[in-house]
A and B are shown apart, each in its own frame.
Chain A
Amino acid sequence: MAKISAATLTKVNYKQIGLWLIIGLLVFIVLFPFFWVVRTGLTSPRALYRDTSSLLPVDPTTDNFARVLGILDPNRLIETGAPNISAGTLNFWLYVRNSLIVAGSVAIGQTLFSAMAAYAFARFKFPGRDKIFLIYLTGLMVPGIVLFLPNYVFVRQLGWIGTFQGIVAPSILMSPFAVFFMRQFFLSLNRELEEAALLDGASAFGVFWRIALPLMAGPLLTLGVLTFINSWNDYLWPLLIGRDDSVRVLTVALGIFREQTPQGSPDWTGMMAAAVVSLVPTFVLFIFFGRRVVDSVQFSGFK
């Protein structure tokens, strides 16, 4: 008896060990690029070619970060003999600010207005309600590019090329997914509290604002975080609308930085430092809300 269980134990152990080895490898594949981008960002541009396999930064320095944030004049580095440096002054602070303005306003606007619509679809009765909701859902199926071109024309006619309004306009008022997401949660909400508040003489908007929304703080936060990250990551639309410096968001700035760096010998240390800067907000959000994001992904599989 003891012999058998020992044998099963070793068999299980081998299986478990194999399983964990595979998982370890997968985690390594996922995380290594992040380590490598930080390592390169901290490497001195003069020393980059000296050892391209060293796991630690070669001749560590924060110059690259200072350079992409506009704190250090790149020409001073070029004078010290650093090769392959983009001479143009970079100001990623400005692009961080622009990205925060765009992603922040889209996250707040889209979440709030979509929640309002979702509440109406879940709670009020009015003619055409279900039809309108269904039409919203078809919006999920139209590929982005079909909308981008006429939207570009429309924003151009409004004179909003190169403005924040132009960049946020298509996404600040709603997204079909956000409406759908919030409606599901409002439908599952017990309406007794809302009815009690109405009985006490609260207005319908007051009930929505002071009762339904606070009860939905969790899903709202999740939706807000997802919307923020999506908007932060957007590239093609802001590239069409906002190449100008004053409204250029981080992704577009990175793309232009990449275009301007010489073909044969790109400014790797600068680009990697800039990439790290652009990842900071995502990681902060991930640390606080990672679990929520995972849960919402699981939710979206069942819509």
Chain B
Amino acid sequence: MATTLNASGSGAKSSGGLLSKITNNQVILGYLFILPSFIGFSLFFAVPAIRSVIISFHQWNLLSDAQFVGLENYQTLISDARFWDSLRITLTYVLWNIPLQTLLALGIALLMERVHNSSFLRSIFIIPWLLPNVVVGLLFLWILDPTLGIFNNFLQAIGIERQPFVGSPDQAIPTIAGVNIWRHTGYTAILLFAGLKTIPKGLYEAAQIDGANGWVQFRRITLPLLRPVLAFVLVTSIIGSFQVFDTVSIMTRSAGPAGASRVIIYYIYEQVFARRINMGVATAASVVLFLILATVTLIQIRYFRAGRSDLADYS
């Protein structure tokens, strides 16, 4: 039968099958087919991942030879107030960004499920996600401009004071978070919508017969069964959120008013470009970021038991 070459099969049998006449060539063919991707992966994923850690133990300005300094770069980070600030600012950004975006997206996903055939709506809601961050940044910089922006004109028209938005240290990070919520909510909603579609309708009907109201159904059926998709959405969007850079660099200049928008990636960028080149400190900071992201992801996977769906409990 045709199962001979089934890819998932560590236990695939090697007997029979018409493809077997090239079985002897399969090893060579296999390696030939993966060769280009393997070169790409080795040179630009595997080697640099390791090299990042190695560089972080060196002092290096790219012009002269790298010098091994042990943990000195990490000590530099620990004693640099700007680094701690950048961590605090990034965390603030994530806390503005993720809860609002996820709740909004969940609301929209539930809304789309109520509407008959929402494929046109989904196409509209995906648009912001397709745009370059740079363009999104410019667009909202103009819309939110303190003196000329249409949004401030609107606020004034309904009797609210004009706001400085990215021009003020207090509002810069929430504003940028809002802009990225605009860009990502539709995308997130579509992911959650796809998750909602997998929940068997029969469960809701049964719950209705048992007299469960809408809220109870949401708590007891929708949320638990949406958990794997929700976990995926949260893990990927939190990882993305921690790495915010493009919109920050477009909407604010040199880390914003009083350095209020110096997020972690911007801090790293400064180590390489805006100031004296310091590859060691830059890579050390990127390794720290990686460790933070790995920890956050592991905690979430534990908490959500992401791989398992509760659907199994019902069947």
Interface on A for B, CB 8 Å cutoff? Answer: 19, 22-23, 26-27, 29-31, 33-34, 36-37, 40, 48-49, 52-53, 113-114, 116-117, 119-127, 129-130, 132, 135-136, 139, 141-147, 149-154, 156, 169-174, 176, 179, 183, 186-187, 190-192, 194-195, 198-199, 204-205, 208, 229, 232-233, 235-236, 240, 250-251, 254-255, 258-259, 263, 266, 268, 271-272, 275, 278-279, 282, 286, 290-291, 293-294, 297-298, 300-303
**Given A27-B124, A141-B297, A199-B18, 9 more contacts at CB 8 Å?**
A31-B127, A125-B12, A143-B242, A145-B265, A147-B44, A272-B138, A294-B119, A297-B190, A302-B194
Query: Which residues in A have their C-beta under 8 angstroms from that of B2?
Result: 190-192, 195
A-B contact count (CB 8 A): 290
Q: What chain B residues lie within 8 Å of A186 (beta carbons)?
A: 7
Is B57's CB within 8 Å of the partner chain A? no
When the two chains form their complex, are residues B148 and A49 in contact, meaning their CB atoms are under 8 A apart? Answer: yes
Task: Check B132–A293 contact: CB distance below 8 A.
Answer: no
A171 to B36: give the CA distance in the assembly, Å: 11
- Chain A residues, CB < 8 A from B125: 26, 30
Closest to A112 in B: B36
* Contact A149 to B286, CB < 8 A, known contacts A117-B34, A275-B139: yes
Chain A residues with Cβ below 8 Å from B253 are: 259, 263
Chain B positions within 8 Å of A204 at CB level: 22, 25, 29
Known: A113-B36, A145-B265. A294 touches B26 (CB 8 A): no
Chain B window 177-189, contacts with chain A (Cβ cutoff 8 Å), 1 for yes, 0 for no? 0000010001100
Cβ contact of A120, chosen from B29, B41, B140, B269, cutoff 8 A = B29
Residues of B within 8 A of A171 (CB): 44
- Inter-chain contact A293/B26, CB cutoff 8 Å: no
B79 within 8 A of A: no
Contact, CB under 8 Å: B115 / A23: yes
Smallest beta-carbon distance A29→chain B, Å? 7
Chain B residue numbers with a CB within 8 Å of A229 are 130
Contact with A along B115-131 (1 / 0, CB 8 A): 10001011111111011
Contact, CB under 8 Å: A147 / B36? no
Q: In the complex, which residue of chain B has the Cβ closest to the Cβ of A142?
A: B49
* Alpha-carbon distance A187/B121, docked complex (angstroms): 31
Q: How far is the CA of A302 from the CA of B249 in the complex (A)?
A: 33
Q: Is the CB–CB distance between A120 and B33 below 8 Å?
A: yes
Closest B residue, CB atoms, query A158:
B43
Please tell me if B85 contacts chain A, counting CB pairs below 8 Å: no
Is B221 an interface residue, CB under 8 A from the partner?
no
Query: When the two chains form their complex, are residues B130 and A53 in contact, meaning their CB atoms are under 8 A apart?
Result: no
A33, B111: Cβ atoms under 8 Å? no
Contact indicator A301/B33 (Cβ below 8 Å): no
Partner pick for B131 among A233, A263, A271, A290, CB 8 A cutoff: A233
Q: Which among B126, B195, B250, B282 is the interface contact of A294 at CB below 8 angstroms?
A: B126
Most buried by A among B52, B140, B243, B249: B52
Nearest A-chain residue to B50, judged by Cβ: A150
Instruction: Give the docked Cα–Cα distance between A251 and B10 (Å).
Output: 45
Is B39 among interface residues, defined by CB-CB distance under 8 A? yes
Contact-residue size bin, chain B (C-beta under 8 Å from the other chain)? 35 or more
Please state if A124 and B124 are interface contacts (CB–CB under 8 Å): no
8 sample A-B contacts, Cβ–Cβ < 8 Å, listed by A number: A30-B186, A120-B29, A124-B27, A143-B290, A150-B47, A150-B51, A258-B141, A272-B142
Q: How far is the CB of B87 from chain A (nearest CB, A)?
A: 14
Contact A179 B37 (CB under 8 A): yes
Interface string of B10-42 (1 = CB under 8 A from A): 101010011101110111011101101111110
**Min CB distance, A267 to chain B, in Å?**
11
The answer to whether the Cβ of B239 comes within 8 Å of any Cβ in the partner chain is yes
Indicate if the CB atoms of A135 and B133 lie closer than 8 Å.
no
Whether A195 contacts B290 in the complex (CB less than 8 A), given A116-B33, A251-B134, A291-B123, comes out as no
B249-A52 in contact (CB<8A): no
Q: Which one of B5, B41, B249 lies within 8 Å of A174 (CB-CB)?
A: B41
Q: Is there an interface contact between B139 and A156, defined as CB atoms closer than 8 Å?
A: no
Chain B, 219-256, CB within 8 A of any chain A CB: 229, 232-233, 239, 242-243, 245-246, 249-250, 253
Q: Does B114 contact A (CB under 8 A)?
A: yes
Q: A143-B290, A151-B48 are in contact. Are A293 and B130 (CB under 8 A)?
A: yes
B111 & A23 in contact (Cβ 8 Å cutoff): yes
Answer yes or no: B283 CB below 8 A from chain A CBs.
Answer: yes
Residues on A with beta carbons closer than 8 Å to the beta carbon of B14: 125
Q: A195-B2, A301-B191, A301-B232 are in contact. Are A126 and B30 (CB under 8 A)?
A: yes
Complex contacts, B182 vs chain A, CB 8 Å: 29-30, 33
In the complex formed, the residue of B with least CB distance to A155 is B44
Contacts of B43 in A (CB 8 A): 154, 169
Contact among B30, B122, B140 for A129, CB-based, below 8 A: B30
**8 Å CB contact of B142 from A37, A176, A251, A259:** A37
Report the bound CA distance from A36 to B114 in whole Å: 30
Distance in angstroms between the alpha carbons of A34 and B139 in the assembled complex: 8
A143 to B288 alpha-carbon distance, docked (Å): 11
Chain B: which residue is nearest A205 at the CB level? B29
Chain A hits for B10, CB < 8 A: 130
A33 partner residues in chain B, CB cutoff 8 A:
139-140, 143, 182
In the bound complex, how far is the Cα of B22 from the Cα of A108, in angstroms? 29
| CB contact between A117 and one of B37, B119, B132 (< 8 Å): that residue | B37
